């Protein structure tokens, strides 16, 4: 069987490995000159930056690919578990180092906010329970196949719906349990992991902290791009053929069946086609003459990001790999995002891989991936917004850290929603496809297959189960399952 995969993002790479492990002939077509999509890298004046995703959880989904290929993942891909997940900062001087270990985290939270340790542990246990009831069922299987719903474990989960907080919000769950406003804010920020709003997203998503404090957060030995590189090299060893700088212009369809693709004006025949391209553009660009699932394509988009890549001429011992500087009014920040605006006091995230990979920055220096959440691109004046946000971010960080950062910036690059869309074909620059701001969002994502066009499949952040490295890896796993049983 000959398989064409459109896009070499992380889900496309994972799909390529899975298809090759089944003995299929696999070719991947990528418009850029590099693999990885958002999970790419670049260097600037002696500083190396991971361009996109900076948090690594659920590493077993990467290990699983090597196991399928009969290889030892640790020979090709090494990572370490983080003892401290994140350093948190507030304007009033409050600071918290969030240990990965739940007991240590609960103790630190209790010492800092005066809440009982039991409240924090209860919240984490509640998240773990929700994940164990629903996560493996609905994240690792298609929601759009009848067989999924006929399993006993699914029926068992349905009986537990009242305890899953589907009819309330993340914020109300955290407010009910975490008690202290700053601790509520800390837990609310996990909604941003899929580009959602904690004041709208269903309470079921309060399972997300379990990924970090129950399973763990990790760091690849050579930076986040090592995830891309290791899977890409595995695919090559399995015989996958890659075509870079080679955009696909059309998916050919005959008698309701995908028959191949068109590249450089030339049709190429394949038995199956897997699109790792954003679902919106897959239909609008590659299937212009086919019926489009307009309800799915018009779903509310997730948030995007504005990223400043700064080479900093100094080291900051109070900072770690992951750092969050919170807004004083989180609800107002999300209200602005929902209205397509930037808030004047944004929450700032800084990722510094040189803390674990010293070679990523010159000696005594650090590489700062500095990001704020912004709305998707709806025609805003991004040049003006970017310049204003830069000053607000620098002012905030300088205040909290007690040092003027401006003269410490040795080099700089930026990425806004326009650039995200241009580089990765993410519609409107939305990082996670559609948002998860209502309890039906999971069911409204595009399935991992087409119900109208046989032999056409979908993986990546705009398809089920959603965006982020683990979920993109799972989308490839679901495509593998569905394709084999088609």
| 3-state class (DSSP) for residue 230 | helix
CB atoms within 10 A of CB 55: 21
Residue 295: per-residue pLDDT: 85
> What's the CATH code, domain 81-221+301-423?
3.90.660
Domain ranges of the chain: 2-39+64-77+223-299+439-484, 81-221+301-423
**Both tokens assigned to 130:** 């929700």
pLDDT > 80? residue 155: no
Across the range 361-375, mean pLDDT stands at 98
CA–CA gap between residue 116 and residue 139 (Å, rounded): 32
Across the range 372-396, mean pLDDT stands at 98
Cis peptide before 429 (omega within 30 of 0): no
Q: Which of 153, 142, 139, 194 is nearest to 170 (CA)?
A: 194
Interval 267-322: pLDDT, tens: 999 999 999 999 999 999 999 999 999 888 888 899 999 999 999 999 999 999 99
Residue 47: per-residue pLDDT: 98
Across the range 451-470, mean pLDDT stands at 95
Q: What percent of the chain has pLDDT over 70?
A: 98
Residue 440: per-residue pLDDT: 67
Which DSSP helix (H) or strand (E) runs through 153? Answer: helix 152-158
What is the CA 105 to chain-centroid distance, rounded?
A: 24
Whole-number average pLDDT of the chain: 94
For domain 2-39+64-77+223-299+439-484, the CATH class is alpha beta
CA atoms within 13 A on the CB side of 122: 13
Instruction: Tell me the pLDDT band of 368, cut-offs 50, 70 and 90.
Output: very high
pLDDT > 70? residue 260: yes
**Both tokens assigned to 380:** 């805003």
> pTM of the full predicted structure?
0.95
Instruction: Report the residue count for the chain.
Output: 486
CA–CA gap between residue 269 and residue 371 (Å, rounded): 42
Using the structure block, give the residue that is written with the tokens 């759009």: 144
Distances 135 to 61, 138, 471 between C-alpha atoms, Å: 14, 6, 11
Q: Which of 259, 250, 255, 257 is nearest to 287 (CA)?
A: 250
Q: What percent of the chain has pLDDT over 90?
A: 86
Across the range 342-349, mean pLDDT stands at 98
Interval 199-239: pLDDT, tens: 999 999 999 999 999 999 999 999 999 999 999 999 999 99
Residue 486: per-residue pLDDT: 73
Residue 261: per-residue pLDDT: 98
pLDDT > 90? residue 414: yes
Q: Which of 335, 342, 351 is nearest to 390 (CA)?
A: 342
């Amino acid at each position: 069987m000959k398989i064409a995969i459109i896009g070499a993002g992380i889900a496309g790479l994972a799909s390529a490995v899975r298809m090759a492990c089944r003995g299929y002939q696999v070719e991947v077509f990528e418009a850029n000159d590099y693999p990885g999509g958002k999970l790419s890298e670049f260097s600037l004046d002696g500083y190396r930056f991971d361009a996109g995703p900076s948090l690594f959880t659920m590493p077993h989904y990467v290990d699983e690919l090597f196991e399928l290929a009969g290889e030892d993942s640790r020979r090709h891909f090494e990572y370490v578990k983080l003892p401290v997940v994140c350093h948190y900062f507030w304007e009033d001087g409050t600071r918290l180092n969030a240990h990965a270990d739940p007991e240590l985290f609960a103790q630190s939270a209790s010492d800092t906010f005066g809440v009982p340790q039991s409240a924090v542990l209860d919240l984490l246990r509640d998240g773990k329970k929700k994940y164990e009831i629903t996560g493996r069922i609905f994240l690792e299987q298609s929601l759009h196949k009848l067989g999924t719903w006929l399993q006993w474990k699914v029926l068992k989960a349905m009986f537990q719906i009242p305890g899953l907080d589907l009819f309330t919000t993340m914020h109300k769950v955290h407010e009910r349990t975490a008690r202290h406003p700053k601790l509520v804010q800390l837990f609310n920020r996990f909604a941003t992991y899929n580009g959602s709003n904690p004041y709208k997203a269903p309470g079921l998503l309060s399972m997300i902290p379990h990924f970090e404090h129950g399973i763990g957060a990790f760091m690849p030995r050579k930076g986040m791009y090592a995830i891309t590189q290791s899977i890409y090299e595995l695919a090559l060893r399995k015989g996958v053929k890659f075509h870079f700088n080679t955009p696909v212009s059309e998916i050919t369809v005959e008698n309701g069946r995908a028959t191949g693709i068109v590249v450089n004006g030339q049709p190429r025949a394949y038995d199956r086609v897997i699109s790792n391209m954003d679902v919106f553009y897959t239909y609008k660009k590659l299937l212009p003459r086919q019926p489009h699932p307009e309800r799915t394509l018009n779903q509310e988009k997730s948030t995007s990001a504005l990223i400043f890549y700064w080479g900093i001429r100094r080291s900051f011992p109070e900072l770690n790999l992951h750092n969050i500087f919170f807004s004083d009014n989180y609800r107002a920040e999300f209200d602005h995002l929902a209205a397509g605006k930037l808030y004047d006091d944004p929450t700032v995230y800084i990722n510094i891989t040189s803390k674990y990979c010293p070679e990523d920055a010159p000696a005594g220096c650090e590489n700062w991936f500095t990001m704020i959440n912004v709305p998707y691109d709806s025609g805003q004046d991004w040049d003006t917004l970017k310049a204003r946000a830069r000053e607000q971010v620098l002012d905030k960080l300088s205040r909290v850290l007690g040092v003027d950062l401006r003269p410490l910036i040795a080099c700089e690059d930026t990425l806004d929603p326009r650039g995200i869309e241009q580089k990765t074909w993410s519609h409107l620059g939305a990082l996670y496809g559609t948002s998860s701001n209502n309890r039906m969002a999971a069911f409204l994502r595009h399935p991992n297959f087409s119900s109208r066009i046989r032999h056409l499949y979908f993986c990546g952040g705009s398809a089920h189960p959603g965006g982020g490295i683990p979920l993109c890896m799972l989308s490839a796993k679901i495509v593998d399952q569905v394709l084999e049983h088609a």
